[in-house]
Amino acid sequence: MGIIEAKKLIFEYIRRDEEGNVEGITRAVDEVDLDVKQGDFVAVLGHNGSGKSTLAKHLNAILYPTEGTVWVDGKDTAEEKYLWEIRQTAGMVFQNPDNQIIGQVVEEDVGFGPENMGVPTKEIWERVEESLKAVGMYQYRKHSPNKLSGGQKQRVSIAGVIAMHPKCIILDEPTAMLDPNGRKEVIRAVRALNQAEEITVILITHYMEEIIHADKAIVMDKGHIAMQGSPREIFSQVERLKELRLDVPQVTLLAYELKKSGIALPDGILTYEELVEALPFRQKTDRILNG
Amino acid sequence: MVIPMAIILDHVSHIYEEGTAMEVAALKDVSLTIPDGQFIGLIGHTGSGKSTLVQHLNGLMKPTSGHIYYNGADIHEEGFDKKELRSKVGLVFQYPEHQLFEVDVFSDVCFGPRNMGLDEKEVQLRAYAALKQVGLEDDYFYQSPFDLSGGQKRRAAIAGVLAMKPEVLILDEPTAGLDPKGRDEILDQIAALRDETGITVILVSHSMDDVAKYVDRIVVMNQGGVMYDDEPVNVFRYYKELEAVGLAAPQVTYIMQALKEKGFPVKTDIITIEEAKNEILRALGR
């Protein structure tokens, strides 16, 4: 069994008018099956309102399924007795760093989670140190979070989650409010956690470039999974993604446009290096060299 | 012909807590001229002074030194009508949908023009026109703003500012949190609006790809000052310097750099996919 598994997950909410009468029922998540293995990096894409955040909130028991089941590390999220264990296993990072930071000093903020869990003081400090080092923020441990940049604040939020030693971390658009450097810092930190610490990562994002290193990408539409596969498989389907209000990385789009203009290129090019290698310029140089 | 200069900033500085130990210069000696009808991209890392700058343009913040002129008049001179200025220089904040509050979309958009003291017929005409300008369909007019999707809410909020018929529209990260299609739709609509009405647009953005695609001119802020102020293609030539201050060039610029480094005969001052495609096709002899 994977670290996170969902079977026929359905989530419905009831819409009411101002008098409280039921206006209708919206199915935000519709029969979703998921199987995430420990150590995987899974990206979740989907347009606004496609159900991806609602799905994410099921993965650490903020929401419970209307029908179907979600297991986190083998524990059914609908069972209240597992609530705290589940939240410790699967930590969540949200979009706005300012809503997630509470401490006056960076290291206090990061220590809040383990302290709340009743971790002994000495171990709290050890965890704070290792978490801040893991996101590259250790040198800021004595700083006030207010004075940090957006990317730095978001990395402190991530450190706060990993100080609780989760097996899985779920990030819901962690870079939406950040400048280019902040985005890079956060994605780099997330990849490092995944690779060095083997923490399972579930990353929700609207930035296609951020997920090219994911093991798997899931595309949500109208509450269900519309596409899934490796980033290369997903990004090979430019037209389909555009129908789903999404996009592909700029490199992939350029390759796609060149291909449409008659240049022979493989589908799903994801990096500059791949494009540079694949362009038929090389043959030309070879010809000159051999000629 | 004299080109009218909508906004002029003359040596504007803004220092928080001036004269105390907490003194921070948020704006340092900024001089800018913003002519009518330009589409300007304002970029800079978090804390570079972009938001402080735009709040000076409609008089929400007052410079600690320097002057700001709107159509020739000093906006902080006694007798200057600040209320009118705020309807002429419309500011759409980040996540403007958080400021929607009325029972339906149409009433929300009416709030601004009604506050200007216009008669009811004019208010409603303007609200209708503004909603059309942002591309919201009639079906949504009488829905609660809270029942709309993220992109629709954001359009409704932008319409609320447009209904005041501003001459200058400032948008602080209008596409943050929107899906890729939603980003393109909003920016396409703003570009079309600029072309149709000649409104001046100032777009604050963290997306270099968007800025490269849409604007005529880029102003780069760093540490409260203007670091570059030029056409996009000229600004992005300094991509290494931009990286040093937390920014970047559009992704295609890096692709062209990589091709050039490999020894391929391509130009590198390329900032959009379209340009990159044409340049690569040209270099390949197609």
- Cα–Cα distance measured from residue A231 to residue A214, given in angstroms and rounded to the nearest whole number: 7
Chain segment A214-237, per-residue pLDDT in tens: 999 999 999 999 999 999 999 999
User: Burial letters for B156-173: b for 16+ Cβ neighbours within 10 Å, e otherwise?
Assistant: bbbbbbbbbbbbbbbbbb
CB contact under 8 A, A262 and B247: no
Paired tokens of A230: 């490796």
Paired tokens of B143: 């829905």
CB contact under 8 A, B280 and A242: no
Report the gap between the CA of B118 and the closest CA in chain A (Å): 31
Note down the domain range covering A255: 249-291
- List helix spans (H) across B75-165: 82-88, 105-115, 120-133, 150-162
Q: Which pLDDT does position B4 carry in this prediction?
A: 61
Chain segment A106-128, per-residue pLDDT in tens: 999 999 999 998 999 999 999 99
Rg, C-alpha atoms of chain A: 21
Q: Which residues make beta-bridge pairs with B24?
A: B16
User: Are the C-beta atoms of residues A106 and A141 closer than 8 Å to each other?
Assistant: yes
Sequence-distant (≥ 6) Cβ neighbours of residue A93 within 8 angstroms: A100, A154, A157, A158, A161, A169, A170, A171, A172, A174
Note whether A61 and A180 are same-domain residues: yes
Helix (H, G, I), strand (E, B) or coil at A200: strand
- Identify the helix (H) or strand (E) that includes residue B41: strand B39-43
Residue in chain A lying closest to B244 (CA): A181
> pLDDT-derived band of residue A289, with 50, 70 and 90 as boundaries?
low
- Cα–Cα distance measured from residue B218 to residue A271, given in angstroms and rounded to the nearest whole number: 27
CA atoms within 13 A on the CB side of B207: 27
Q: A233, A258, A282 — which closes off a domain?
A: A233
Chain segment A183-213, per-residue pLDDT in tens: 998 999 999 999 988 999 999 999 999 999 9
Note whether A190 and A65 are same-domain residues: yes
Note whether A269 and A178 are same-domain residues: no
- CB contact, 8 Å: A278 with chain B? no
User: B198 — phi, psi (to 5°)?
Assistant: 75, 20
CB contact under 8 A, B259 and A281: yes
Note whether A209 and A180 are same-domain residues: yes
Considering its fold, how many domains does chain A have in total? 2
> pLDDT-derived band of residue A291, with 50, 70 and 90 as boundaries?
very low
CA atoms within 13 A on the CB side of A115: 11
Note whether A222 and A280 are same-domain residues: no
Note whether A281 and A145 are same-domain residues: no
Chain segment B147-199, per-residue pLDDT in tens: 888 888 999 999 999 999 999 999 999 998 889 998 999 999 999 999 999 99
Helix (H, G, I), strand (E, B) or coil at A203: strand
User: Are the C-beta atoms of residues A207 and A175 closer than 8 Å to each other?
Assistant: yes
DSSP structure class, residue B4: P
Helix (H, G, I), strand (E, B) or coil at B171: strand
CB contact under 8 A, B46 and A251: no
Does A275 reside within a domain? yes
ipTM over 0.95: no
Does A253 reside within a domain? yes
Does A244 reside within a domain? no
Note whether A44 and A177 are same-domain residues: yes
- The predicted model scores a pTM of 0.88
